[in-house]
Amino acid sequence: MGRSEELRKFVEYRVRQLLAEENLERIVASLRNASWNLERGEAAEIVRVDRDSR
C-alpha cells in the first residue's frame, strides 16, 4: 500500500468519524430539547399496552 493510499484511507476514516460525532451531537441536542411531558404512571401504561398487544 502506497503512502497516498494510506493517507486517503486515513482521511476517509477521519471524515466518517467527524460526521458520526456531528450526528451524535445533533441527536443529543434534539433529545435535550424534546418535550417529555408524561403524567405520572403514563409510561407504565404505555409499556403495559405494548406488552399486552404481543
Summarize pLDDT for 3-25 with one digit per residue, the tens.
999 999 999 999 999 999 999 99
- Per the model's pLDDT, the better-predicted residue between 14 and 43 turns out to be 14
What is the arithmetic mean of pLDDT over 28-32? 94
* Domain encompassing residue 38: 3-52
Q: What is the pLDDT of residue 51?
A: 94
pTM (2 d.p.)? 0.59
Cell reading at 14? 477521519
Residue ranges in 1-54 assigned as alpha helix (H): 3-33, 42-52
Cell reading at 8? 486517503
Cα separation, 10 vs 8, in Å, equals 5
Cα separation, 30 vs 3, in Å, equals 41
Number of domains observed in the structure of the chain: 1
Q: What is the pLDDT of residue 42?
A: 92
